[in-house]
């Protein structure tokens, strides 16, 4: 899918299609969002390839690596090469998998059919996610990603000025509060050095400055953002609706049709995503790991 890039506040140049870096063949899916990476084995990366993969993530925000043959342990080892692996999820118990793995199993209500950014309801949301297909339905189950930086940069200057100083509340209890209280009996997983016993809403900037690229992007999502602070409920709803509609415009998104052996890596600091629930009662299982992130910073704090 080709993505149309709006004028940016700062220069950001993608590599040409087919660029080869440290053995990685990078084929962009658009000028600055989404790329397919070939020529490497995720189970046998050297240090230069790890660095090139991290660089590609910051540049393209989501990268797809077909034809990989890795299991849970290899997926975790890959994560450790790229950063610090977290628990699979702050509260969810995925059963008979390593603690670092979050299993999204359609037979256990493991769906992600709402636009969201992973785990933004904690103080330090994950920086990077790594997802691989374990069981695929015979049809459907695609995943789409939205480029929050491109979405921000294509807003009108007046709207950017309006949202730059705003903050919003992210609340995980709407999605996982009942699960934590009933299925986990109020005791979740070890996350960021503490066992999660309650999902206290947190506040993040509406516009996040990426700690590596310096680019600004929208940092609100329908899955976990409850409201914007300092404005009325109606104003909050109106602003969020505008931002959500803009974020998920087709020209800001890429869509991936999963095949056996596919692995996707994405930058949670610059994207949102959505998994189609269009495969009926067919079985779909995806295994995800996440890498520890930093405190989101808005434009004023980053200045």
Catalogue the active-site residues: 116, 118, 273, 288
Spacing of C-alpha 212 from chain mean position: 16
What are the distances in angstroms from CA 26 to CA 4, 261, 270?
A: 19, 18, 19
Q: Angle formed by the axes of helices 72-82 and 47-60, to 10°?
A: 80
**d(Cα 211, Cα 157) in Å, to the nearest integer?**
22
**d(Cα 123, Cα 106) in Å, to the nearest integer?**
28
**d(Cα 49, Cα 62) in Å, to the nearest integer?**
16
What does the block give as tokens for 225?
A: 């953002």
DSSP string, 34-68: -EEEES--TTS--HHHHHHHHHHHHHHSEEEE-S-
Task: Tell which residue, 249, 242, 245, has the closest CA to residue 159.
Answer: 242
């Amino acid at each position: 899918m080709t993505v149309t890039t709006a004028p940016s506040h700062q220069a950001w140049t993608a590599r040409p299609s087919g660029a080869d870096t440290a053995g990685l063949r990078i084929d962009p899916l658009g000028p600055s969002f989404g790329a397919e990476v070939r020529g490497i084995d995720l189970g046998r990366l050297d240090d230069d390839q790890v660095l090139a993969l991290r660089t590609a993530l910051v540049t393209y925000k989501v990268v797809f690596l077909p034809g990989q043959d890795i299991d849970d342990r290899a997926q975790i080892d890959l994560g450790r090469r790229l950063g610090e692996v977290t628990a699979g999820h702050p509260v969810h118990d995925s059963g008979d998998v390593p603690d670092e793995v979050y299993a999204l199993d359609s037979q256990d209500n493991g769906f992600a059919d709402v636009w969201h950014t992973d785990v933004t309801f904690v103080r330090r949301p994950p920086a990077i996610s790594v997802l691989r297909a374990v069981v695929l339905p015979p049809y459907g189950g695609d995943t789409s990603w939205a480029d929050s930086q491109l979405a921000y940069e294509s807003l009108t200057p007046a709207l950017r000025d309006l949202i730059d100083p705003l903050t919003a509340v992210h609340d995980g209890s709407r999605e996982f509060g009942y699960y934590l209280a009933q299925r986990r009996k109020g005791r979740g997983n070890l996350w960021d050095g503490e066992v999660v016993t309650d999902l206290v809403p947190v506040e993040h900037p509406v516009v996040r400055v990426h700690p590596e690229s310096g680019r600004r992007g929208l940092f609100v999502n329908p899955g976990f953002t409850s409201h914007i602070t300092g404005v009325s409920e109606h104003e909050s709803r109106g602003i969020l609706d505008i931002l959500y509609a803009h974020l998920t415009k087709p020209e800001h998104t890429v869509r991936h049709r999963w095949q056996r052996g596919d692995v996707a890596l994405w930058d949670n600091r610059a994207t949102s995503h959505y998994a189609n629930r269009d495969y009926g009662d067919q079985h779909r299982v995806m295994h995800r790991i996440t890498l520890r992130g930093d405190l989101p910073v808005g434009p004023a704090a980053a200045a």
